[in-house]
Amino acid sequence: MKQSIDLTTAERKLVFAMTLSSILPLLDSSIVNVILSSISNDINTSYAYIQWAVTVYMLACAAGILLSPYIHENFGLKKAWICSIFVFLVGSILVGFSFNLASLILFRCLQGFGAGILIPITQSTIAIYFGKERLKPIMALIAIPSVFAPALGPIFGAVISEQLNWRIAFFINMPLVLVAFFCGRTTIPDNKTSKYNMNIYVFMTFLIALI
């Protein structure tokens, strides 16, 4: 039996917001790999050290993923999604204003933490809103641009690196996040919250093991 993906206007806005939420962290990480040399030259830092901008983003992202169930259950989907996407936005803006290696690593950590929470929250939002019946076609619809985003990232990164300033790669997240926010703020379900106790020992052990 063929599954229908006929969507209302509100559902289209939700899908668009969730698609942007899925693309942004992937696109950002793939662009950064290409512009590392430009960042290194601009802030006068060795290329060997500038690669921590990639590593710390991944570690912070892992920490955000581990914390996402706690945030989701205690604050609800809508608040969790709004907070995480704005943490990602603030981190992106601050990275664009980085002036040395320490500030770059610190702000990339904040950006990665927001991305780590955002990714599973986005998937939970889709699953809860569309349910078992329509989940597969909707996930397939969102997966198509999510697959192409990492492939297009190096191209955008090369253009930005050669023709523009590397900081634009992070400032460009501002309009994308704002579009996602205005599409998602009225359509994301505000589910019931519940008390969720996080195992701090397991969280710290896993995080330390990653580092």
pLDDT truncated to tens, each residue of the chain (211 aa)?
A: 445 567 788 888 888 898 888 888 888 888 888 888 888 888 888 888 888 888 899 889 988 888 888 888 888 888 889 999 999 999 999 999 998 899 999 999 999 999 999 988 988 888 888 877 777 888 877 878 877 877 787 788 888 878 888 888 899 889 989 999 998 888 887 766 666 667 777 777 877 877 7
Q: Where are the alpha helices (DSSP H) in the chain?
A: 9-42, 47-50, 52-75, 77-96, 101-163, 168-171, 173-184, 200-210
Report how far residue 9's alpha carbon sits from residue 173's, in angstroms, rounded to the nearest whole number.
25
Q: Which residue has the tokens 């693309």?
A: 23
Q: Which domains does the chain have, with CATH numbers?
A: 9-210 (1.20.1250.20)
Distance CA 147, CA 155 (A): 15
What integer pLDDT is reported at residue 132 of this predicted model?
Answer: 75
